[in-house]
Amino acid sequence: MKWLPLAALLCILTGCNATTPQRSLYEQIGGNAGAQKLVDAFIQQIGNDEVILPYFKASNVSHFREGFITHLCDTLDGPCDYQGDNMVQIHTGMNITESDFNRVVDLLINAMNEVGIPHGIQNKILARLAPMRGEIIKL
């Protein structure tokens, strides 16, 4: 019986949930409903931005929406397998500048704030998306 307090203390210090699987980023943003909400807010941000909107003037918004939802799902360890065009195929010929790329990141952050994604989760999402930067900016 004298080991019981020690066991309880160890359990508290280690979190007692070592066998509980960690939720994916996709689950942490609310799964498909959360991804849809985020992408819809992002599209609104783009639609209200006079600098970035021209990049999307020839885009099919519903195609972009569905593709980005699936891409986020895949990138954030959800149950999706994105099979669409890669970032190079999508952005070739768009002549996206570093400034414009950074502006789009700001719009995504605005959208994440708008839908209530905590900053720690936002940072993890941005870290997953950041490696694609070199495939998007072509100077």
Distance CA 109, CA 126 (A): 9
Is residue 63 annotated as involved in ligand binding? Answer: no
Distance CA 76, CA 73 (A): 5
What tokens does 91 get? 């952005």
Q: Say how many CA atoms lie within 13 Å of 131 toward its Cβ.
A: 6
Enumerate the known binding-site residues. Answer: 91
Q: Which residues are annotated as a binding site for heme?
A: 91
